[in-house]
Homo-oligomer: A and B are copies of this chain.
Amino acid sequence: MATFTSKDVARLAGVSQSTVSYVMSGKRPISEDTRRRVLDAIDRLTYEPNAGARALASQRTNVVGLVVPFGAGVDTTGLLPFIETIAGAARARDHDVLLVTTNEGSAGIRRLAGRSLCDAIILMDLQRDDDRLAVAADVRTPVILIGVPDDPHGLHCVDLDFAEAARLAVGELAATGHDRLALIGHPADIVERDLNYVRRFYDATRAAAASHGLPLDVIAPVEWGREAASGAAAALAAIEARKLGVVIPASNTVQPVLHALNARGLVPGRDISVIGLLTDAAAAETEPPVTNVSLEPRDVSRRAMETLFRLLEAPEPPQVDLITPKLTRRQTVT
Contact = CB atoms under 8 A, between A and B. Distances in A.
Given A51-B116, A80-B76, A99 B101 contact: no
Interface stretch (A42-50, A152-160, A165-173, A203-211): A42-50
A138 to B, nearest CB: 5
Interface residues of A, number: 48
Interface of A: 1, 3, 46-56, 61, 63, 66, 70-71, 76, 79-80, 83-84, 87-88, 91, 96-101, 104, 110-111, 113-117, 138-140, 225-226, 259, 285, 287
Contact of A140 (B1, B70, B98, B287): B1
Given A76-B80, A87-B70, A52 B49 contact: no
A301 to B, nearest CB: 12
21 contacts: A1-B139, A3-B140, A47-B114, A48-B111, A48-B114, A48-B115, A49-B115, A51-B52, A51-B55, A51-B115, A52-B55, A52-B56, A56-B56, A66-B99, A70-B84, A71-B84, A87-B99, A96-B98, A97-B98, A98-B99, A226-B287
Nearest to A85: B70
A116 B96 CA distance: 13
Contact of A115 (B1, B50, B104, B114): B50
Contacts of A98: 63, 96-99
Given A48-B115, A96-B98, A99-B99, A1 B138 contact: yes
Given A3-B140, A117-B96, A101 B87 contact: yes
A139 B52 CA distance: 18
Given A1-B138, A139-B1, A50 B116 contact: yes
A1 B63 CA distance: 21
Contacts of A46: 110, 114
Contacts of A91: 101, 104
A89 B59 CA distance: 29
A56 B97 CA distance: 20
Nearest to A90: B99
Nearest to A58: B52
A79 B87 CA distance: 15
